[in-house]
Structure 1
């Protein structure tokens, strides 16, 4: 979906009009979050959001995967597989599955870490453990109570924050903020900007850590695209963040096209982008997540004409994060 602009403005007439629905949705969501879940038998780290839309969960999961492997762990990612048709549980195979099968984010992550997709998350625990998981990394699912979480890491974008801090549909929050904050163990703010400072202060006042991180573009991708005028397109939670990252890397973005998050590109849409790029002498560039949706799809015949722009998440104080995670895992295993 494409987020409405009023979600990121002070309380508007649209939000006030939708507030009765928001109160009902929030009450149901808060009551659901309070329910108990099953124990996985191994520690569970959840990487989630307070709100709908993207903030950098997938790069965070991949960065945590690397950090955990350095500590001798064998993480397996558990995802609902948003946008995929397979209910699971299924182990994602990049050589056999398409984004239409398992979702774009699981398909992208499966190139780096074992990923289990299960629409009912609790049903995927057994398959994740069968892959030799010493712990499970949940991609999203913070508000889902079906699995007990040993560590909940919440990711927000430093430039976007939490918008008007209203509950869906009056705003972007998936549940009222107080019960979400109560279940948060640490906050990760991605990128610059002060939009996340208020919630960071509330997390810090509760004695919980706040970690800062930034998206680091792949140096080889930057070098390959340098000096080439670009037509950038993206169907992610915040396409403008992708366009800003390209420009901040010194690249020349001549044209840009934004699509809704998880947008299933049609053959005609990609053909039109390719035709515009050829006509105007531009190079097509998109995110790794968007490129994953082109693979093994009808629109994928244009894949060779599209360059991916990989990014990785870099933490400002990785030693502090490493120590915090190790402490929580130790406590989970001895409790």
Structure 2
């Protein structure tokens, strides 16, 4: 999906309304597809699905990482499943290992494996991935990175994220707008999270579609700065410096804005989500990228026998989930903390 189309969706370009007949066709085909699917059975392990109803980044990865950390503190053993978009695994299941590359398993699964240190199973057939994990008899629950629109599974708990600045865009479904399904889906999930502070327009938009539901704000914060070549922590530059930055994520501008919020003047270049960088895409000087991009650029950054490592850096993110949200999740799943687990 090109950034130009994404910008048009969220800016509300007038010409997109000419595509509304195709949006109606998309919705009809989706309804027809769902009607033909067998009834989803009980999950072999409690399943939490974290997703969105829009195309474009909403901050799922830091939320998954934060949820895993919170569940670990409760002594619960969890695993993650992912489609592995951009990878070559196919139906799977494949458990991500240290020797895997982003080209093989996808950039997000590789990053989640590194950040959470729990098993991440990749494959477009998420149902098969859950069944494989259940056979291991080692896990208390499974977290699905994305998957609200995956008809073969149904989360026992479903969390949906909406970007606080972009909201639902022009409110239209693909291809006339960014919606994967109708906004009524927001009333069917267990919790809607707003990434960042919702502006007034987005607030009114959500109030229109879910007037009786409470939303929760989460705000990922840039945390540490590390070298791409070896993951070593380095200090943040002085704020009087100009920062060159790249981002190949669903919403590159958010990353550039986060850097500006730290006081930097940023020269940012955005790429399409999951873009595989080539050496000529990246400046030879010091630049900052996202952690998701770093897993794809590590080999490029390490240099060669006749070239030193590149001075590229990446920024990690963190966020905090309110304890009440964790309590509600465990209650719905029927799980209790187990502080006897290491």
**1:300: how far off?**
6.2
Aligned equivalent of 1:163 = 169
Report if the CA contact (8 A) 2:77-2:141 is conserved. Answer: yes
The 10-residue stretch of structure 1 (51-60 or 193-202) with the greater mean CA deviation from structure 2: 193-202
Cα distance in 2, alignment partners of residues 202 and 142 from structure 1: 21
Cα distance in 2, alignment partners of residues 40 and 304 from structure 1: 46
Cα distance in 2, alignment partners of residues 164 and 303 from structure 1: 44
* Correspondences of 1:133-152 after superposition (within 5 Å): 133-152=139-158
Report if the CA contact (8 A) 2:187-2:210 is conserved. Answer: no
Cα distance in 1, alignment partners of residues 67 and 309 from structure 2: 29
Cα distance in 2, alignment partners of residues 329 and 57 from structure 1: 20
Q: With structure 1 as the length reference, what TM-score do the two structures score? A: 0.86
Cα distance in 2, alignment partners of residues 52 and 145 from structure 1: 17
Distance change in 2, residues 1:162/1:300 (3 Å): farther
Report if the CA contact (8 A) 1:187-1:203 is conserved. Answer: no
Distance change in 2, residues 1:268/1:220 (3 Å): closer
Structure 2: gaps spanning 5 or more residues: 227-233, 337-342
Equivalent in 71, 80, 84 of residue 83 of structure 2? 80
2:174 aligned with 1:172: no
**1:321: how far off?**
1.0
**1:122: how far off?**
1.1
**1:330: how far off?**
1.6
Aligned equivalent of 1:12 = 14
Cα distance in 2, alignment partners of residues 70 and 140 from structure 1: 23
**1:203: how far off?**
6.7
Runs of 4+ in 1 over 6 A off after TM superposition: none
Structure 1: gaps spanning 5 or more residues: 278-282
- SS of match in other structure, 2:219: strand
**1:199: how far off?**
5.0
How many aligned residue pairs are there? 315
Aligned equivalent of 1:327 = 331
> Which whole-Å deviations, capped at 9, do the CAs of 1:303-329 have from their partners, x for residues lacking one?
7421011111234xx022122212211
Aligned equivalent of 1:124 = 129
**1:28: how far off?**
2.3
* Correspondences of 1:31-110 after superposition (within 5 Å): 31-33=32-34, 35=37, 36-87=39-90, 88-93=92-97, 95-110=98-113
* Correspondences of 1:279-290 after superposition (within 5 Å): 283-290=286-293
> Which whole-Å deviations, capped at 9, do the CAs of 1:46-66 have from their partners, x for residues lacking one?
000111121101111111111
Report if the CA contact (8 A) 2:9-2:169 is conserved. Answer: yes
Aligned equivalent of 2:22 = 21
Report if the CA contact (8 A) 1:213-1:314 is conserved. Answer: yes
Cα distance in 2, alignment partners of residues 28 and 209 from structure 1: 31
Aligned equivalent of 1:218 = 223
More helix by share: 1
> Which whole-Å deviations, capped at 9, do the CAs of 1:230-272 have from their partners, x for residues lacking one?
210111111110000011112342x2111111111122223xx
Cα distance in 1, alignment partners of residues 309 and 65 from structure 2: 24
* Correspondences of 1:251-330 after superposition (within 5 Å): 251-253=264-266, 255-270=267-282, 273-274=283-284, 277=285, 283-296=286-299, 301=303, 304-315=310-321, 318-330=322-334
**1:11: how far off?**
6.2
Cα distance in 2, alignment partners of residues 181 and 327 from structure 1: 21
Cα distance in 1, alignment partners of residues 335 and 71 from structure 2: 16
Cα distance in 1, alignment partners of residues 301 and 275 from structure 2: 12
Cα distance in 1, alignment partners of residues 154 and 319 from structure 2: 26
Report if the CA contact (8 A) 1:33-1:143 is conserved. Answer: no
**1:116: how far off?**
0.4
Equivalent in 190, 197, 200 of residue 203 of structure 2? 197
Q: With structure 2 as the length reference, what TM-score do the two structures score? A: 0.85
